[in-house]
Structure 1
């Protein structure tokens, strides 16, 4: 699947006419994002944005943080208010207290939704959270333009999400290179065998996300992680690519299932964000590991 564009700058995209309707929710989001990025550049020019990066603090090492966690797989906890498929997930949404609770609960990294229209996120949230917590931050956005990567860096991101389904090969490689040049880590997201084949042809792939959510109809199936790891796990390991399983992880059984598949980390949003006590929610998800850690170490945990 490769999403059509309304205003492509690269001839490798299929062009949709103004009369066409989007084939799925992902295409609808991308079409809106094309207009949004144009509008953003009228409010803050690309030159002004680049100026903001001067003397900016060095980024944190996102992958290193995942590798050092005592939780296995390590946790990327997501700050998320809503989604197109589930609507409002957390009514009393305070992104700053959520981020702090995740950090205190033992998360290795945070994912911050920056799309406003469909997920209720904001780059302002990203910037404010950067000032509140010390964990590495992932900018969770539908990135289609270099401008968004510069903006993510300027607002404090240490990593950015690049979705294979919405980017042609040429743009995907260029955005990988740009992300590295700005000192960040790209998390390349795939959800099919064909997308895995594509991504393995790129240079500089160190972190790969397997999305268990079908991006056309938003259904979720953990077997996506299992099947792709079964097919490509050995190659991922040989190339030193760290794998993140995304979406659909709600219980200890779910956690153990993707852990058995061999992933490095999990990205969890909805199942945590719905809980009133976020620290307890992490403890419940990793219950056996926290119990073992307490038994083996006479030190207090971060929760």
Structure 2
């Protein structure tokens, strides 16, 4: 079993334990403000940042003790982030839907629910908790699931970040004509990181698509490498949460200090 398979198995078990009747989740959705237009926020600058609230990861273990995710998200917004990503997977990343709720209440920029989306219910749940964007990992989904989940997210008013790691996954992603594609330099099946994925895959993505470089971004030169490959956004978590000063760290990544 790969790391990705193991994570998804846990996600399904946790989902079964917290699932509530559809009537209740629909009622909560009706009481939730409409989703923000994430595409416009992620097209504001030459390089846009999706800053992540991330306590731990399967590859690095515990990264930071985040007792107030809303405050951290507020700092991200102050530093100029275009969106905030919130991990909601509990077992490997230490996240929760409560984190998502807290962040959504604090900030006025889009929020990405960062989780392993493998069930239709999770999309209703994401919207009910105020998510504006969801993550669709091509390696975790069949082609029919990818299309169906993308259509469902769109129907619910949410944007989708379609994550790929290989040329074959990118080809599958392009079949649904997405508006945001993320190239992850980390192989989720082995957890190995190779930034060459940016140079290989990002130039293949059409210019009218928002192109996000994910994972392995720790320095200004990493950002420049991704940008030179054609990235218009970066998703950064570990570097920011471990910095001690996320505002300063983000400004440094963007070359503003």
Shorter-chain TM-score: which interval?
over 0.9
Q: TM-score, normalised by structure 1?
A: 0.82
SS in 2 for 1:68: coil
Query: Quick one: distance in 1 between partners of 2:220 and 2:155?
Result: 38
Could you say which residue in structure 2 is the equivalent of 1:161? 135
Q: What TM-score, normalized by structure 2, do the two folds share?
A: 0.96
Alignment partner, residue 147 of structure 1 = 121
Q: Does 1:91 align with 2:91?
A: no
Larger Rg: 1
Give the aligned partner of residue 105 of structure 2.
131
Q: Aligned ranges for residues 40-79 of structure 1 at < 5 Å?
A: 40-41=18-19, 44-69=20-45, 72-79=46-53
Shift of 1:91: 2.7
Cα distance in 2 for residues equivalent to 1:100 and 1:38: 32
**Superposed displacement of residue 55, structure 1:** 4.3
**Paired position in structure 2 for 1:190:** 164
Q: Give the superposition deviation at 1:94.
A: 2.4
Q: Give 5+ residue unaligned stretches, structure 2.
A: none
Determine if the alignment matches structure 1 residue 38 to structure 2 residue 16: yes
1:27 aligns to 2:5 (yes or no): yes
Pairwise CA RMSD: 1.2
Corresponding residue for residue 274 of structure 1: 242
* Counterpart Cα distance in 1 of 2:164 and 2:202: 12
**Structure 1, residues 170-201: CA drift from partner, whole Å, max 9, x if none?**
11111000100000001110000110111111
Runs of 4+, deviation exceeding 2 Å: 91-94
Query: Counterparts of 2:12 and 2:220 in 1: how far apart (Å)?
Result: 39
- Cα distance in structure 1, aligned partners of 2:31 and 2:74: 26
| 1:244 correspondence with 2:212 | yes
The answer to whether 1:224 aligns with 2:197 is yes
Q: Which runs of 5+ in 1 are unaligned?
A: 1-22, 292-303
| Separation of aligned partners in 2, 1:93 and 1:84 | 20
| Residue aligned with 2:42, SS | helix
Q: Tell me how far apart the structure 1 counterparts of residues 93 and 66 of structure 2 sit (CA, whole Å).
A: 15
Q: Which position in structure 2 is the counterpart of 1:108?
A: 82
Contact 1:81–1:93 (8 Å) recurs in 2: no
